[in-house]
Amino acid sequence: MFLGTFQHSIDNKGRLIIPSKFRDKIGASKLVITRGVDSNLIVYTEEGFYEYVSNLTSLKGSPQKSRNLKRFLAANADEVKLDSQGRMLISEGLRAYAGVEKEVVVTGNMESFEIWNPEAWDNQSELLGDAEEMRNELESLGIMI
């Protein structure tokens, strides 16, 4: 699992050093980086991405919605591999979408990790609320912690 929050920077070629804690989980796997729906980027291992996409076929709702979601994820995705220094190259288009330039926040999200513009992450963190709010939200879903 990918856990934690890290401050990192992107070099002038668009490369991001992946937190060492995450590199251990990635191993030799390729990565898939795609657009998130919150103006962020989501990074999966290749295996994790294919598992995630295969789950979309079992979604309830219209087949059109499922196709649109697959298109959104796949058309905006890149396969990348870590270089010998643990860096991955983020395409110019994906960097522009997420508004990431020099400084970024890398956050674990269980089966994937996310790359955020620091200001966007601060805004997202505020939306998450405090621990008491989260506990109430989870309990309303029937999840006791």
Encode pLDDT of 72-107 as tens digits: 888 999 999 999 999 999 999 999 999 999 999 999
Q: Are 80 and 31 in contact (CB under 8 A)?
A: yes
Does residue 54 register a pLDDT over 90? no
User: Residue 3 corresponds to which tokens in the numbers above?
Assistant: 């856990």
Q: How far apart are CA 108 and CA 114, in angstroms?
A: 6
Q: Of the spans 59-63, 65-69, 126-130, which averages the highest pLDDT?
A: 65-69
Could you tell me which residues come within 8 angstroms of residue 36 by beta carbon, excluding any fewer than 6 positions away?
42, 98, 114
